[in-house]
Structure 1
C-alpha cells in the first residue's frame, strides 16, 4: 500500500475541533505566496544530515521545484560526489566536462560557466560528479579552506532568490563549506530511531560553525521525512523530535510513498510527475511554510 495515499484529509469549520497534525500541533494553512517582481540576492540553504537515505536529495529537488512554482528563481547545488541531485534532474554526471569541482578548484572557472537549466522553469542546477570527492583532500592545504564554496556562490547569488545545497552524508570539509556559505539549514530526518540519534551531533556541528565561521547561520527547521502514520514507530520518532526541538520542527511532514522513487527514475520532481499526489502537495505546503517562516523570500 502507498502510504502517501493514506494521508488524512481534514476539514475545518467553526464548530469542529481543531485538527491536529503528525507533529502534535494544530494544522495550519500557510498563505499562498505571491511571485517576486525582483530577484536576488539569494538566501542560501544547506540541506544537511550526516546519515544517508533520509531524503535530502528528494527534498532538495521537490522543495526547489515548489519554490520555483511560486515564482522564486532557484539554484540547486549538487555537493555530493555521488551526483544524485544531478541524476535526479536528468543529467549524466559521467558526461560532464565541468562541475562544481572545477568551480572550487580553478579560479578560471566560474559558477556561471557550469550552471545548467533544468526542465523546470525558474530552476537551475550546479552539477557534481565523482571528481568532487578529490576536493575534500585537495582543499585541506588551502587558505580559508572552509570558505571556498561561499566565494564560488557569491558570483551568482544576485541572480537567484534561493540557493539550496544538497550535501553529502558526512560532516567533513565539504559539509562545513556548505554550512559556512549558508544562511540557513534544513535537516531532513527519516522517521526512524537510528536517524534520530545523529541529530544532536549535527546540531553541535552547526553550532560550532556558527561560533567560529558563520555567525549568520541558523536552523530553518527539521523536516520529518518517510513518515508512515500507520506505524507507532514513526509517530514516536516525530513526538521525540518535537519534544527535543519544539518550534524548530516543520509542521509539514513528508509521508513515505513509492511515488518519490518513481519520480526520481523519471528524472522529474513529484510536482511534475504526479502533481495531484499528496506528496506533491506536501512539498508545496513545505515551500509555503518555509516562506512564512522567513526561510525563503
Structure 2
C-alpha cells in the first residue's frame, strides 16, 4: 500500500499576486475593454490638466487618460487649449487652420458641439481641436469683456448635454497665462502631472498660488483633486525620492498609479494615436488604464 501523498500547498492565492499575473490581468483589461466597463461619475467632471513646466507629460496624460476612460465605456471630451495642438494630433483630429476649433468657441462664433469632433480611436472620445489661430488668442482676449470666463460660458450644461459626455479634460499650454486661467475658471478640478525627475517641484508653488487666486476671486469650486506622477524610472533612486516627497506633501491627492518612462508613450503621437491605440499591451498603456480606473472610481464615489 502506497503511503498517502502529502497535501500540496495551495498556491493559487500566491500566484494571483505575482507581478506577471497582475500584468496579464491589466493587459486583458486594456485589450478587452468591453468586459471591464468603468463606473460613471456621480456628477459630470471637468478637469483642467495644468503645469507651467513643459515636458512633464501634461498633454500625453490628458489624451491617454481620456482615451482610457472612453474605451472603457465613458463618454469623454478633450478640449485642446494649447496653441501647439498636440492633443489634437494625438487624437488624430483635423486641426488645420479654418477648422472649427476652440479659438472660435472662445470668441463665441461656434458652439462647443459644432467644434467637437469624434476621434477615430473610440466613438466615446471627442476633441475640440486647437488650430494655429489660437496662438494669438491671449492677445485678443485681453480686450474682451469677461475675458477669464470665455471658456466657462461655452461649457454650459446645455452645451455639454448636446454631446453627452461624462468627463472633460482641458489641456492647457505650458504657461500661467489667460488661456490657462480660462481653463481653471471653467473647471471644478485641476489635475497636475509631475515628472519624477530633478526640479520636479520647481514652479509648482507658483501654480498652486495661481490656483488659489482663481479659487478666491473667480471660481470657488476649483480644487486640486488629482496629482499624477509621470516619467518614473525605477532604475534611479531619484525617482523614488521625488515620488516619496510628492506623496508625503500631497497625500491621497496623488494617484497610486505611477506612469513609467516609456518609448511607446513617446512614439504614439507621431502616428496620430494614443498609446492605448498604438500599443495596448505596453506598460505605458496599462499604467494609463490603471490611472484612469483610479480616477473613475474616485469620481463614482464622489471623492473627486
Tell me the equivalent position of 1:102: 104
Instruction: Classify 1:203/1:15 alpha carbon distance in 2 versus 1 (closer, same or farther; 3 Å).
Output: same
Corresponding residue SS for 1:94? coil
Q: Which of residues 149, 152, 161 is equivalent to 2:151?
A: 149
- Cα distance in 1 for residues equivalent to 2:16 and 2:77: 42
Instruction: Classify 1:246/1:12 alpha carbon distance in 2 versus 1 (closer, same or farther; 3 Å).
Output: farther
Residue deviations 1:114-138 (CA, integer Å, cap 9, x gap): 1111012200110002211211111
How far apart are residue 205 of structure 1 and its match? 1.1
Task: Indicate yes or no: 2:214 matched with 1:209.
Answer: yes
| Structural mapping, 1:122-133, within 5 Å | 122-133=124-135
Tell me the equivalent position of 1:111: 112
How far apart are residue 58 of structure 1 and its match? 0.8
Tell me the equivalent position of 1:269: 274
Residues 42 and 157, structure 1, Cα contact 8 Å, conserved in 2: no
Q: Which of residues 210, 219, 222 is equivalent to 2:224?
A: 219
What TM-score do you get using the length of structure 1 for normalisation? 0.84
Runs of 5+ consecutive residues of structure 2 not aligned to the other structure? 1-10, 20-35
Runs of 5+ consecutive residues of structure 1 not aligned to the other structure? 1-10, 20-31
Bigger CA radius of gyration: 2
Tell me the equivalent position of 1:26: none
What TM-score do you get using the length of structure 2 for normalisation? 0.82
| Structural mapping, 1:161-180, within 5 Å | 161-180=166-185
Residues 97 and 133, structure 2, Cα contact 8 Å, conserved in 1: no
Tell me the equivalent position of 1:254: 259
Q: Would you tell me which structure has more helix in proportion to its own residues?
A: 2
Residues 165 and 178, structure 1, Cα contact 8 Å, conserved in 2: yes
Residues 65 and 292, structure 2, Cα contact 8 Å, conserved in 1: yes
How far apart are residue 41 of structure 1 and its match? 6.6
- Cα distance in 2 for residues equivalent to 1:91 and 1:292: 28
Instruction: Classify 1:94/1:296 alpha carbon distance in 2 versus 1 (closer, same or farther; 3 Å).
Output: farther
- Cα distance in 2 for residues equivalent to 1:226 and 1:40: 31
| Structural mapping, 1:1-297, within 5 Å | 13=13, 34=38, 36=40, 42-105=44-107, 107-119=108-120, 120-154=122-156, 155-158=158-161, 159-294=164-299
Moved over 6 A (4+): 14-17
Deviating more after overlay: 47-56 vs 126-135: 126-135
Instruction: Classify 1:127/1:16 alpha carbon distance in 2 versus 1 (closer, same or farther; 3 Å).
Output: closer
How far apart are residue 252 of structure 1 and its match? 0.8
How far apart are residue 295 of structure 1 and its match? 7.6
Residues matched between the structures, number: 272
Corresponding residue SS for 2:259? coil
Corresponding residue SS for 1:205? helix
Structural RMSD (CA)? 2.6
How far apart are residue 92 of structure 1 and its match? 4.8
How far apart are residue 16 of structure 1 and its match? 11
Instruction: Classify 1:40/1:134 alpha carbon distance in 2 versus 1 (closer, same or farther; 3 Å).
Output: farther
